[in-house]
Amino acid sequence: MLTFIPRFYAVQALLRSVAPIIAAEQELGGKAISEGWANVDENKLEEWSEDGQQIMRSEVKQLWDETYDEEYARLFRRVSASVCGCAMMPH
């Protein structure tokens, strides 16, 4: 079973929730946001949300690819060992 998938969706949800902060901080030149940072119009929040997700998209994709590859290899070794009757070799 691919046990990492629920955790990956949790990471995506976390990214969506912090995306506006990421973009707002980038807009501030990398400085931390301060109190009242979200007191902007809805369009600006949506822009920050989209921009923040775009900023992090490649990192999340890399995380997905690495985690998927590791889990696939682990499961493949398990299935291969059970098919050939070999003892599972730890990796």
Whether the CB-CB separation of 25 and 33 falls below 8 Å is answered with: yes
Q: How many CB atoms lie within 10 A of CB 80?
A: 12
Q: Is residue 58 part of a domain?
A: yes
Whether residue 87 is contained in a domain is answered as: no
Domain that holds residue 64: 4-27+41-75
Per residue in 1-48, pLDDT (tens digit) is 556 677 778 888 888 999 999 999 999 999 999 999 999 999 999 999
How many domains does the structure of the chain reveal? 1
Per-residue pLDDT, 49: 96
Answer whether residue 91 shows pLDDT above 70. Answer: no
Residue 47's pLDDT is: 97
The dihedral built from the CA positions of residue 66, 68, 73 and 74, taken in this order, carries a sign that is: positive
The answer to whether residue 82 is domain-embedded is no
**pTM of the model as a whole:** 0.63
Instruction: State the pLDDT at residue 45.
Output: 96
